[in-house]
Structure 1
């Protein structure tokens, strides 16, 4: 099987700035201009994202979460793109983009609350400009496009002010590209030159359906049919993902319209904790991608640059502390008050809604002290 992450055999050039061996390389169009401390920060983000993911997976297996969608293997795509965002940019993540939520400054315990069934998200999207994770496949591409069109109408695009100009980014998987919402979003974004970046994490499978059964051409090539640029990037290379997304976002903020980015990566684990990937893929396939691990390649590079072992130990200690925080916080998430369901039915509460709330509260209170 052709390896879609090999830049020498891909149908479309694959942007890569850091090889699996940790060696910096160059691209004719894109460059990562961060310093060594910046790369260390990205490494820390990668490690924290993976720890969040593995802890949540374990919590689900211990019955503390009802479900969890693992992001193992996709950390570089999420961290690299999310760290390219400016504070005024708005991110629309999917249910698997834990690294995006983490990098935008949200407490990851909020994610646990969603999959514990205790909350609908638990944060104000406007606080850190990140929407609640979307589970309706592909719908967030339309949300991001509409938001981007509003940015243009509000005069927040193309002013030349780096503190003012803004863009949106829609995250999606390869499976979502088969949805009508995605194609509608590309069309609207292109026609209206909306300042939006479509960041597709091509992890090779839409649940159990492999990429070759979804499309006859690379996903990035679909951009041609809608009149917008498409870029293919090594999704396990955090530096390349950062560089490509930085350029696409700036293009959007400058008023030059949308971009479709295909980050070629691999979902190492199951689609969700209810899935068994051994039923539809060979172990040898995962072994090939394990050798391209996003964290290991950055670690190798940092070691070659003289970063001491003590620093890596400090990062590991931070990750351990995050694990403790997640385990303790998860078990202390309060049960939701179902009476709050009536708070957001209408902008202005109606008499009928108030009556229904009162009836529910009376029924709930009548059960106090009873034995189930």
Structure 2
């Protein structure tokens, strides 16, 4: 008697996947990114069923989400998100690799010892090689230094990024959580090497507006990025879940905060009241709070839109949650009255848990 193992039907992406997703050019480059990218920070480790991860990735690609954002330490455990995404890429999306932007990062703690973190050439190159192996690819489209390293000379970090592009292991390079002055210095070094930085990935949300605030020279990160040709892709636009309807009426046990995956300090009485007030503004716009928060990050900013965010990274615990948040793209415009109401309801709430990373001293001084 013959027995056959059941194999699910081969995945075929939606034929209309590019019809509704807006794409935006990244800085002064030829690369365009979907306005919403899928981040694999949470929900793609070994603690979640691969079948659920696969469904989310399929739904994202069906909706025109061509950018999948990873890092070496995403999981849990570290490295598992890259491994799991690499499996789905290999088994379901390999024929579409040239339609897909895969990004990863290095800089936060990944393995024991002095070479498992930071901005040294040793760490960045070793980490990228490990990421490529886990992903099962020859190159990534974007490779980031994940955070400033006060103990590594900025030139060393930038020269490593330069050589990574020259090696063909990454097509573009960028930085994350760099402050405005450090971003300008990094961009100057790379421009001199003929390998411009493509992109900056900062945390940014209605309640975390540090990228808009002037730095020591009076220029914001958004302004420095625009003037130096970098695009900006915002992470944590929902402030770790604060800017969703989930916490308007309390903290559910099944939520990220309830399960310990979110900083409970974000859910202070004051911040929860802010979320409720913003939820009322969103309802008047015909959006959920999360949809409005995503639309706000993607709104046009600066003279001639020069400081407008190119893309924002969202997570998803289910395909239905992803689908709901993608509906934000149906209304990215705000009236002056709506923006004023949002400003009145939401002062900076102090939820930038990465702020210390942006204050690294520059050039190893």
Q: TM-score, normalised by structure 2?
A: 0.35
The structure having more radius of gyration, on CA atoms, is 1
| Greater RCO structure (CA 8 Å; 6+ sep) | 1
Q: Which has the higher helix share?
A: 1
